[in-house]
């Protein structure tokens, strides 16, 4: 699969006459290739250019036209194929050159996905803009492990919080959430796990159940369960790392046993 390199900081060009560009921001879902909407697949099929992130399942690119240009613009911790400003400019350039750009993002593009930022930027250049919602990993990943984020008698609400803000700090909302009885779901938080443990411990929640699920909904999924007081050891033993979802709350012990989704697929194929 061709991954284009960034070769210029000045990538906004004068468009050819007669080309009216558009952007469709598409949520690719949490990882399982089948957890994408029909509308999302149709957008991929119709794209002239697809800019895709690191967390999408690349099997989805098989739905692209043979003539579509595929550009990897993914970001990992400490490793950027493109800076966000360059991605914004690249969307405009490709839309003006070729027509329909699909920005393919993991999960839902409006949940810590910068989808709204990209739409705001490109609308300045007259592009038509559309969004196709995706299934968020914050919901799907716990569900695949049988964890209900809400359950009568255990949790009446849930928080979804980023573990790393723009300033590379843990969100202040974690400390507020720790005071509540809600289920707390933290994305991109593995690098802040020790800090998260300290915050919940300060609220006398050492015995609160916690789950960490790495690469959820994929065949590479790994997970660990424990309490606030034991989870650091569990992570070490199971060698858990990003990308992972952290789920904290009594609903973790309400986990239901599910038939493996992978064995079910194999049985029906």
Dig out the tokens for 83 from the structure: 């800076």
Asked if residue 19 has pLDDT above 80, the reply is no
> Which DSSP state fits 61?
G
Give the C-alpha separation, 65 to 180, whole Å: 48
Question: Which candidate in 32, 53, 108, 190 is catalytic?
Answer: 53
> Which DSSP state fits 155?
B
Give the pLDDT band (50/70/90) at residue 258.
confident
- Dump pLDDT digits (tens) for 69-119: 999 998 765 556 688 999 999 999 999 999 999 999 999 999 999 999 999
Question: Which candidate in 188, 190, 192, 205 is catalytic?
Answer: 188
- Dump pLDDT digits (tens) for 158-176: 999 999 888 889 999 999 9
Mean residue pLDDT of the chain comes to 89
Do 76 and 106 contact (CB within 8 A), yes or no?
Answer: no
pLDDT of residue 16: 47
Q: Is pLDDT larger for residue 62 or for residue 3?
A: 62
Please confirm, yes or no, whether 75 is among the known catalytic residues: yes
- Dump pLDDT digits (tens) for 181-215: 999 999 999 999 999 999 999 999 999 999 999 99
Percentage of residues in the chain having pLDDT higher than 90? 81
Please confirm, yes or no, whether 253 is among the known catalytic residues: no
Question: Which candidate in 75, 151, 222, 238 is catalytic?
Answer: 75
pLDDT of residue 6: 42
């Amino acid at each position: 699969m061709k991954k284009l390199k960034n070769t210029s900081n000045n990538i906004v060009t004068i468009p050819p006459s007669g080309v009216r560009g558009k952007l469709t921001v598409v949520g690719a879902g949490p990882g399982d290739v089948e957890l994408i909407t029909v509308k999302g697949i149709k957008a991929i099929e119709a794209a002239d250019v697809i800019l895709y992130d690191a967390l999408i399942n690349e099997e989805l690119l098989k739905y692209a036209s043979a003539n579509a240009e595929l550009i990897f613009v993914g970001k990992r911790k400490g490793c950027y194929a493109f800076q966000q400003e360059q991605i914004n400019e690249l969307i405009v350039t490709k839309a003006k050159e070729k027509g329909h750009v699909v920005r393919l993002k993991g999960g839902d593009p409006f949940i810590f996905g910068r989808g709204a930022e990209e739409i705001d930027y490109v609308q300045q250049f007259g592009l038509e803009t559309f969004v196709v919602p995706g299934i968020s990993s914050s919901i799907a990943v716990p569900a695949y492990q049988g964890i209900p984020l809400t359950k009568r008698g255990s949790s009446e609400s849930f928080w979804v919080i980023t573990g790393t803000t723009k300033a590379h700090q843990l969100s202040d909302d974690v400390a507020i959430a720790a005071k509540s009885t809600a289920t707390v779901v933290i994305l991109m938080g593995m690098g802040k796990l020790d800090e998260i443990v300290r915050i919940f411990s300060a609220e006398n929640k050492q015995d609160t159940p916690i789950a960490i699920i790495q690469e959820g909904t994929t065949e590479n999924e790994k997970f660990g369960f424990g309490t606030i007081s034991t989870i650091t050891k569990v992570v070490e033993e199971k060698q858990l790392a990003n990308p992972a979802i952290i789920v904290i709350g009594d609903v973790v012990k309400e986990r239901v046993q599910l038939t493996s989704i992978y064995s079910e697929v194999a049985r029906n194929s």
